[in-house]
Amino acid sequence: MAQSFTTNPLQNQTGSVRRKVLVTGGAGRIGSYFATHSHHKYDLILLEREWDEDSKSLEQFGSLIEGDIEDLERLKEAFAGVDTILHLAADPAPDATWTNVRDLNITGTYNVFVAAKACNCRRVIYASSIHAVSGYPEGVQVKTSEPVNPGDLYGVSKCFGEAMGRYMATQENLSTIAVRIGGFQPHESIRTETGVGMLDAWVSHRDLNQLFEKSIDAEHLQFAIFHGLSDNRFKRLDISDARELVGYAPQDDATRENPELQSLHLNERVNLLSRADGQKSGLREDLP
């Protein structure tokens, strides 16, 4: 857990008052799910470049405002009085061109951090991605303490965001938690034939939302990188930091969801040689 640290434990600034959370990319798949399922817990502000008629239905869950993350001054206006920024807005395409990742994922992310600092926000939750470490060979389970290793320009842009977050947390005293999001897909997708391909990288909607909430609420962390995967039997990314530091307890597992995998009973048949799987120590014979 070398990437995670506390310098000055955050004080609970809200007490019984609900936190005000601003979500960039509030109309996206992840942002809209967060708004739908977490509005009861936080006072939400959902920011989009522009709102279409379909997305305006989210106004029942929070305030809808327009703003371009490439516009620093607009972000400073929007972030005033906000406790936490959940920064989701980005070009998410793995084959995104340099121009797109530069403008949205790099310049936009820089603006979000600067505006959050200028407005004395308590924390930024940065939506990083599994693509920040997708360059590691197959079969390697990546830990948060290992160097970034992006597999594409999109991943490169997410590495920038993680580095920016570390800088802001260390040098500018703006607490940051980066969440490397895996394959964010509904249960229905993981149950299809192609769902087998997400066996080691899937994160369900409710598991990722739980990790966001725990990251928002934690008071003891100045900076951390967490891996946002469900409790899959096989995990491309190690999720133990999130378990230990914020009590992340994912509920879903790809091997239990996909019919092809269910029939194999992998959770019962695959022995990972772990004490947790029932392996006993021979030392027991010589102890009372």
Domains detected in the chain: 20-254 (3.40.50.720)
Residue 282 pLDDT level (bands cut at 50, 70, 90): low
CA–CA gap between residue 288 and residue 282 (Å, rounded): 13
Residue 191 pLDDT level (bands cut at 50, 70, 90): confident
Phi/psi at 266 (5° precision): -60, -35
pLDDT at 117: 98
Residue 194 pLDDT level (bands cut at 50, 70, 90): confident
Do residues 22 and 80 touch, judged by C-beta distance below 8 A? Answer: no
Which CA distances in Å does 170 have to 4, 242, 273?
11, 20, 39
Quote the mean pLDDT of the chain: 90
Number of alpha helices (DSSP H) and beta strands (DSSP E) in the chain: 11, 9
Asked if the model's pLDDT at residue 183 lies above 60, the reply is: yes
The mean pLDDT of 58-73, rounded to a whole number, is: 97
The fraction of the chain above a pLDDT of 70, given in percent, is 85
Which comes out higher in pLDDT, residue 2 or 250?
250
Asked if the model's pLDDT at residue 280 lies above 90, the reply is: no
Asked if the model's pLDDT at residue 9 lies above 80, the reply is: no
CA–CA gap between residue 29 and residue 215 (Å, rounded): 19
Phi/psi at 177 (5° precision): -125, 120
Which comes out higher in pLDDT, residue 163 or 233?
163
CA–CA gap between residue 48 and residue 26 (Å, rounded): 6
The mean pLDDT of 230-236, rounded to a whole number, is: 93
Asked if the model's pLDDT at residue 15 lies above 60, the reply is: no
Burial of 277 (0-12, 13-18, 19+ CB in 10 A): exposed
Which CA distances in Å does 60 have to 2, 32, 46, 66, 124?
41, 11, 11, 16, 24
Asked whether the CA dihedral 78, 105, 171, 176 is positive or negative, the reply is positive
Active site residues: 154
Dump strand ranges (E) for the chain: 20-24, 43-48, 63-66, 84-87, 123-129, 175-181, 183-184, 202-203, 223-228
